Structure 1
């Protein structure tokens, strides 16, 4: 379901999800319960479920739900190149 932006005169803007067929023009504000009018905004540019959306959601979620690390990540083996030109590259 798409999100619609509503604007309360005392609390400001908030988003609500509604089916497209039943979008109200006025919704109660979650802060003060006064009626808030729907604002006309641009459409969403990202598809929900896309890789970019999942990355943005995960990044935003880390602000209030940081990941807890119990152990360092497992070491992965690096592949050794057999190309003789790669032997001239500097080693880190």
Structure 2
């Protein structure tokens, strides 16, 4: 039995410009801020984002996830807020 080859076209409205992964990782905040007025996006430079990897016990992970879910935010948003409260703007 010969297999039938099926080819699929591009998804309608697909982005033509290839995404530079390094640029996205480095500047994802700027690339995502399309809801802001153009003048504000051009004049505001987002702070560079750095990645932090942290090993925590599973029970703590579950507790953080439960708290974030109950507040309707992501774990990242919750943890950034907590870290900002403790370490941010102390200058």
TM-score interval (norm. to shorter):
under 0.3
**Structure 1 or 2: larger helix share?**
2
Structure of greater relative contact order (alpha carbons < 8 Å, 6+ residues apart): 1
The TM-score with structure 1 as length reference comes to: 0.28
The TM-score with structure 2 as length reference comes to: 0.28
